Amino acid sequence: MESRLEQQPVNYKISCTGLSKSFGNNNNKVDVLATMDLHVKENEFLVILGPGQSGKSTLFRIMAGMETPSTGTVTIDGKKVTGPGPEIGFVFQRYTLFPWKTVLGNVEMGPKLRGLAKNERREVAQHYIDLVGLKGFENHYPHQLSGGMKQRVSIARAYANNPKIMLLDEPFGQLDAQTRILMEQETIRIWEAEKRTVCFVTNNIEEAVYLGDRIVTLDGKLPGKLSHVYEVDLPRPRDFTDLEFLKLRQKITDESQLVL
Amino acid sequence: MENSKDRLILKILPYLGILAVLVIWELIVDLGIVPNTLLASPIQVVKLFFIKLNTADPDGAVLAVHIATSLKEALLGYSLALIIGIPLGLAMGWFVIVEGLARPIFEMIRPIPPVAWIPLAIFWFGIGLTGKAFIIWASGVVPCVINSFVGVRMTNPTFIRMARTYGASDWEIFKQICIPSALPMVFGGLQVALAASWTALVAAELIAADTGLGFLITMGRRLLMPDMIVLGMLMVGLTGVVIGVIVDKVEKRLVAGVRR
């Protein structure tokens, strides 16, 4: 085991080793994540699947550098993560657009704060607004957009920073079923147009099978621990009603231990 | 048909209410239920209004001069309150050093009612423009500071975290994120400050002045002219409403898109 680990090439984009997390002090300790290892390859679409209360958001925040693990380390390109940085782009479940900025203003916020010249950041922002399919909505304010459109802006905004890694935390959790499916298709289209290493957190098995190159599942009780890993080698675009799709979906459902 | 009739009645009702009050008021005075030396009738007030438009007697100035004096004092004190209060409050909300330095002093001064400053203000500045402006400043600056402070403190922490991942400096985050997100609160403070300053202004003029709407009311009492007292009161109310509407208009223009 030891020797195999050492032989592995270090070209993982993200490496989590010996990671665990507990909150509180000695008397009142809650273990949220059991010790785990997780490696993500470059340009891989990894889905972290788990029900509520499985510690997946904590795992997400640790990978994002927003939370320090109790043990273990997270490295990106071999470098230890110490805080949130420009190499990571975020999309959250709750809409986090700046309400006082237009679509264009939101998307060019990152480049602006990075100090890009005006025409340069305009160009970058416009490119990603076009990519997510919001051409013509540049001057709309967030409150004038639907939920799906808001998440498109969030994706464009994250991309505009040119991150190496995209972290998405249940981005479509608040959307209705139809918009959700549309956004899943769009996510794949955007990702195939401009590949990034993606970690996508969800509690929806169908969504996981549709999106992921690989799915890791977390057990549905604390402390969360990685229970299964599924390689998904279905061709894209995937079909929700394809037999192989349904088989995998059923397999994951059977093997996941949902604790209500 | 029925519906439009209902709507018409709803539109007329407020005017009917006002008319009813005026008629009852007029009758109370005309029928001698309240002696005319204690209360002027609406018609008497309107008559005096037209007289005061171009007659300086018996209080020494025409109505426009009184209004102009009060407005000038209000404008000066109010603008100073905004210019000093808003930046101070915003800075207190974001920069720990500013909060540490300014907060204790502010908390000491805050519970003192602005009217309590009047005697000192007369000592220091006399009964002219400066003294009044100081009182108005003292009463307007408090809500400006509090609302700006709270506005910055209420900034969505995700926005701040996100800006940090873009590599923004503290100053940039303050400028680009905290200030715009605090704007609705700041403008709420402007309205509160306006009400507070206008009240304080009239109080100050009642005690010490040679022109101004408060002074007009005081003169009405000294000259035993209830119509002048009521006229002064009405003009205070009316002018206050007009300023309030202007501030509201400016607010709407400036924070377009911020309100969801």
Which residues of chain B are within 8 Å of residue A141 when distances are taken between CB atoms?
Answer: 256-257
Structure tokens, A161: 């920073």
> Could you tell me how many residues make up chain B?
260
Q: With 70 as the cut, is the pLDDT of residue A256 above it?
A: yes
Query: Using the beta-carbon criterion (under 8 Å), do A99 and B176 form an inter-chain contact?
Result: no
Closest B-chain CA to A102 = B257
pLDDT value at A5 more than 70: no
Count of residues making up chain A: 260
Q: According to the model, what pLDDT value does residue A32 have?
A: 85
Domain boundaries, chain B: 1-34, 38-254
Q: How far is CA B220 from the centre of its chain?
A: 23
Q: What is the mean pLDDT of chain B?
A: 87
Whether residue A10 is predicted with pLDDT greater than 80 in this model: the reply is no
What mean pLDDT comes out for the span B240-245?
89
Residue in B closest to A115 by C-alpha: B168
Residues in chain B closer than 8 A to A102 (CB atoms): 257
Question: Does residue B162 sit at the A interface (CB-CB below 8 Å)?
Answer: yes
Confidence of residue B198 (pLDDT cuts 50, 70, 90): confident
Question: Which has the closest alpha carbon to B179: B225, B209, B147?
Answer: B147
Share of chain B above pLDDT 70, in %: 97
Average pLDDT over residues A152-158: 91
Q: Is A106 on the interface with B (CB under 8 A)?
A: no
**What whole-number distance in Å separates Cα of residue B18 and Cα of residue B16?**
5
DSSP conformational letter for A41? -
Residue in B155, B156, B166 to test binding to A, most A beta-carbons within 10 Å: B166
Q: What is the pLDDT of residue A85?
A: 79
Chain segment B13-44, per-residue pLDDT in tens:
889 999 999 999 999 988 888 888 888 888 98
Task: Say whether B257 and A100 touch across the interface (CB within 8 A).
Answer: yes
Distance from CA of A175 to the nearest CA of B (A): 19
Count A/B contacts: CB-CB distance under 8 Å.
58
| CATH numeric code, A2-87+163-255 | 3.40.50.300
Interatomic CA distance for residues B74 and B194, integer angstroms? 9
Q: Which residue has the higher pLDDT, A54 or A62?
A: A62
The tens digit of pLDDT for each residue in A58-108 reads: 888 888 888 889 999 999 988 888 877 788 888 888 878 998 899 999 999
* Domain with residues B38-254, CATH architecture: Orthogonal Bundle (1.10)
- Predicted local confidence at residue A260, as pLDDT: 44
pLDDT level of residue A149 (50, 70, 90 thresholds): very high
The amino acid occupying position B177 is I
**Which of A81, A88, A95, A100 to mutate to probe the B interface, most B CBs <10 Å?**
A100
Assembly ipTM: 0.72
Asked if A94 and B158 come within 8 Å (Cβ–Cβ), the reply is yes
C-alpha to C-alpha distances, A19 to A60, A75, A247, nearest whole angstrom: 12, 11, 32
Dihedral sign (CA A147, A153, A156, A160): negative
Residues B40/B34, Cβ–Cβ less than 8 Å: no
Average pLDDT over residues B3-20: 86
pLDDT higher than 90, residue B81: yes
Residue B29 near residue B21 (C-beta atoms within 8 A): no
pLDDT tens string B45-58 = 899 999 888 888 78
Residue-wise over A81-118: b if at least 16 C-beta within 10 A, else e? Answer: beebbbbbbbbbbebbbbbbbbbbbbbbbbbbbbebee
Q: Distances in Å between the alpha carbon of B156 and those of A141, B165, B181? A: 18, 15, 8
Could you list the beta-strand ranges (E) of chain A: 14-23, 30-40, 45-49, 71-76, 79-80, 88-91, 165-169, 197-202, 214-218, 226-231
Q: Is A88 on the interface with B (CB under 8 A)?
A: yes
Residue B239 has pLDDT above 80, yes or no: yes
